[in-house]
Amino acid sequence: MDIPSHLLEILQKAERVAVLTGAGVSAESGVATFRDPDGLWAQFRPEELASMDGFLTNPERVWQWYQYRRTVIHSVQPNPGHHALAQLEKLYPEFTLITQNVDRLHQAAGSTKVLELHGNIVENYCSRCRTPYSQEIDTQAQEPPRCPHCRALIRPAVVWFGEMLPADVVEQAEEAAQRCHVFFTVGTSAEVYPAAALPYLAKRCGAYVVELNPSTTAFSPYADLCIHAPSGQSLPRIVELLKETIL
Ligand code: OAD
């Protein structure tokens, strides 16, 4: 795969790097994306499965869908793209990994500082009193457990449509986008805001913005460089070449 030498030169000089990832970074692990032709939103209705209204209308259906996604995620491993990002973190004094993914595969690959914009699928909390639910989840259960404090339904700790993203996480992500010298947007369709605004913010603030995605996205025309390849191939190659030039 052809990695332009000017990208490596820019990465060599950079001190601050930020990365935004989306579902595509986990595709090669076997986790479905959302908006590709075989993605989750081609088969399921987001308003039924990823909204508070959908949960209140049919909590069993929503819970079963997340149980299914947990099963998938527990059965897969981080891929070379996740591992490359964990290595990239070690090469920079200031490195920020921002993800829209809820699968925790970045952490499984060894990334230590991950800003989870959309929460995660591993943790749960009470839909009424918001107390974290720390009891083990019965993977066979067809309906959500009840909160031990207020008896309301327990929900997954993901951000649903219509909900606010965690303000402190958004603030840190925006700060990283504003401060970085190089910003990577990896495996995301760049359609869901506010996450999708981050590459534009980075660009406005002077960063060199690189898109790693086999397809063209809404952001592609604004990227300084697009590498149209699966991120499980492009990221390891970039890190490998960068290490060679640094050492
Ligand atoms: P999408 O499904 O919208 O986009 C996935 C992107 O990954 C597409 O642009 C694909 O071209 C790209 N892709 C596919 N295979 C790839 C590979 N091997 N390497 C690199 N890229 C690849 O997923 P997101 O942009 O993450 O939100 O979607 C954003 C949010 O929409 C999600 O976090 C989720 C969803 O609704 C919530 O659940 C709140």
Closest Cα to atom 21 of ligand 1: 187
Spatial CA neighbour of 113 closest among 17, 234, 200, 189? 17
Mean pLDDT over each residue of the chain, to the nearest integer: 96
* 149 noted as active-site residue: no
185 lines ligand 1 (CB under 6 A): no
Closest Cα to atom 9 of ligand 1: 189
22 lines ligand 1 (CB under 6 A): yes
The answer to whether 177 and 207 are in contact (CB under 8 A) is: yes
Closest Cα to atom 30 of ligand 1: 192
| Phi-psi domain of 214 (left: phi exceeds 0; alpha: psi -120 through 50; beta: other) | alpha
Tell me the two tokens of residue 8. 């490596």
Position 59 confidence tier, pLDDT thresholds 50, 70, 90: very high
**pLDDT tens digits along 81-94:** 999 999 999 999 99
| Distance from the alpha carbon of residue 116 to the mean position of ligand 1, in angstroms | 15
CA atoms of 35 and 50, how far apart (whole Å): 14
Which of 35, 38, 231 has most ligand 1 atoms within 8 Å of CB, for mutation?
35
**pLDDT tens digits along 113-153:** 999 999 999 999 999 999 999 999 998 899 999 999 999 99
Supply angle C-alpha 6, 8, 14, rounded to 5.
105
Position 247 confidence tier, pLDDT thresholds 50, 70, 90: low
CA atoms of 64 and 78, how far apart (whole Å): 24
The answer to whether 131 and 53 are in contact (CB under 8 A) is: no
Position 1 confidence tier, pLDDT thresholds 50, 70, 90: confident
Its pTM stands at 0.96
